[in-house]
Structure 1
């Protein structure tokens, strides 16, 4: 009898173990399987929240089908105590495992309102956008120039929202003076700027910042990023360039940056200046003349006068040989790459062609014909 009881007990125990093992396997599969979300959502995790509370919210949102498995899975993975506060974008069909990773991963929110202070060539703009979870795209809510002094209606309410993300974005070709002056208008930054960064030393890029970040610290990050980029690209340069140093490359890249905004032209424009340097021909480029007149403090806003073309400055490449002493703006990656790997051409000249691009020429006669064509286009535009 006792043998039978023991046998039955052992059988029952084995069955229980098998059922428990099967349940664990089933739970693991559910934890890693695609979830029920049909469209992406933003999940808000308040400070002080617990994984149990988040699991209930997820269940209510229809993001998980088994909140208990979500909690147990997070605990088993050792992440139940690593919950981060913020707003998180949960893609459609996110598994419970993926959601746990999203809400416990170190870093900032991935959903919500984006405040981007954009510093452009002619002006700055504070742009506020919100993320549409369904499309994964940011939609502009409002934008304005902080210097204008008029804050749009609704701005204060937007700034009171949780989990705002702040960025500062530099356009290619801005000058260091422009960057410094515009950063002073960014009310979410603090601190005085001790000195003007060297021209060309700041990387045009997008920088994620935190409210109260020191302006000087941000400028250091911009300079470090540009220096690292220049170091990397210098190592990939074409052989035989008439550039003795990375500093000279940065000077020429800034000229290429200011001469064309057409991506496909950059390497061709760079080839013109490389050819001129190799043949000892003066660069004769208007952006350098303008920099000598303005010190990079503002766009000239008009054409260059003949008297200004004849004015002696260290940047007047109609009068000086070779490169000017410093960059004339902060060039972006594409212009630096183009400068260090220009096209192989025989072009020595270029002029605007009326389409936003340029007409290139090998000889002065050909160039003069292109210039005459451009003059006619200019005259026609002026008559409209």
Structure 2
């Protein structure tokens, strides 16, 4: 009997070792995925719910087996919600590590400098991985940049990050403004920066363009910025044609050909560099600028010099067949 008892104990021990070995092997062995796959774990999901999702997606062989092994062999950290990339052949152990580590897939939505708010709204609404509706944001309230988001996130939440980035940027830059700036408030800084943003795409010109407009404001001259004519017509979208004389003469709160001073609000969402340029404009005597035909501008201190530059620009356009 004693010998029989020892044999039973030995058999039980062997079985226990085999079971434990099976659990360890099943936990660390390669999984069934043949190719990388993205899975979505919804907010509030338990490990059991996530296991069912992964079984249905073919990421693991058995939800029950995964759950049991995870409780015995896995860490105690909770899993994260989000979108996760699971590599081909991922073991149960690796999968749990990915879910607990919160290494969710991040996607980027880019808002270029000078984008008007109506297009910011369109870009967010066109992103199919986001959800929810929201009104067109206030012009100038969004900082152009690349923003990460997760599948299923609310569009309004992404917009809030964009607007917070603008508020934080203004809060950082405003105390650093130069005594040479002509803007009296952060709001005026955004208004003028939006004009600078729309007038030049060249980094080397931003402070000079800001200097030109600063000089005009000091001399109580009209800014005469073409983009301010277009904004009331298209809300900042491309006009798609030449500006008409009747539009140049149109009196409204934005057209700087028919008013002295700044428009009543921004005509786009300016980037950080343009805001910095307005707060620290170049020390220049220039009052005018016109395109040079090479993507930049010719600057001049006097109207006579400016008229000569305009004549050069028109001659170049005629050579190109644009006039």
TM-score (norm 1): 0.59
Match of residue 185, structure 1, among 115, 126, 130: 126
SS of 1:367's equivalent in the other structure is: helix
Aligned to 2:212: 272
| Whole-angstrom distance in 1 between the partners of 2:316 and 2:79 | 60
Which structure's residues are more often strand, by fraction? 1
| Whole-angstrom distance in 1 between the partners of 2:161 and 2:142 | 8
In structure 1, the gaps of 5 or more residues are: 1-42, 49-78, 90-101, 110-163
| Whole-angstrom distance in 1 between the partners of 2:139 and 2:180 | 26
The answer as to 2:260 corresponding to 1:348 is: no
Equivalent pair of 2:222/2:257 in contact (CA under 8 Å) = yes
Q: How far 1:191 sits from its partner (Å)? A: 0.6
Match of residue 266, structure 2, among 311, 314, 327: 327
Aligned to 2:320: 381
SS of 1:359's equivalent in the other structure is: strand
| Whole-angstrom distance in 1 between the partners of 2:37 and 2:127 | 27
- With over 3 angstroms needed to count, the CA separation of the structure-2 counterparts of 1:266 and 1:240, relative to structure 1, is closer
Q: How far 1:244 sits from its partner (Å)? A: 1.3
- Larger mean Cα displacement after TM superposition, 216-225 or 259-268: 216-225
TM-score (norm 2): 0.69
Q: C-alpha deviations, 1:193-218, integer Å up to 9, x for none?
A: 1x321100001011111111111111
- With over 3 angstroms needed to count, the CA separation of the structure-2 counterparts of 1:303 and 1:44, relative to structure 1, is closer
The answer as to 2:115 corresponding to 1:174 is: yes
- With over 3 angstroms needed to count, the CA separation of the structure-2 counterparts of 1:339 and 1:380, relative to structure 1, is same
- With over 3 angstroms needed to count, the CA separation of the structure-2 counterparts of 1:357 and 1:383, relative to structure 1, is closer
SS of 2:176's equivalent in the other structure is: coil
Which structure's residues are more often helix, by fraction? 2
- With over 3 angstroms needed to count, the CA separation of the structure-2 counterparts of 1:191 and 1:104, relative to structure 1, is closer
Match of residue 238, structure 1, among 172, 178, 190: 178
Q: CA RMSD in A?
A: 2.9
Equivalent pair of 2:181/2:278 in contact (CA under 8 Å) = no
Equivalent pair of 1:83/1:103 in contact (CA under 8 Å) = no
Q: How far 1:241 sits from its partner (Å)? A: 2.1
| Whole-angstrom distance in 1 between the partners of 2:99 and 2:124 | 33
| Whole-angstrom distance in 2 between the partners of 1:214 and 1:272 | 42
Number of residue-to-residue matches in the alignment: 246
Q: Structure 1 runs of 4+ off > 3 angstroms? A: 43-48, 79-89, 102-107
Equivalent residues in 2 for 1:1-384, closer than 5 Å: 107-108=102-103, 164-193=105-134, 195-296=135-236, 298-382=237-321
- With over 3 angstroms needed to count, the CA separation of the structure-2 counterparts of 1:352 and 1:107, relative to structure 1, is farther
| Whole-angstrom distance in 2 between the partners of 1:335 and 1:237 | 13
SS of 1:382's equivalent in the other structure is: coil
Equivalent pair of 1:317/1:324 in contact (CA under 8 Å) = yes
Equivalent pair of 1:45/1:84 in contact (CA under 8 Å) = no
- With over 3 angstroms needed to count, the CA separation of the structure-2 counterparts of 1:105 and 1:268, relative to structure 1, is farther
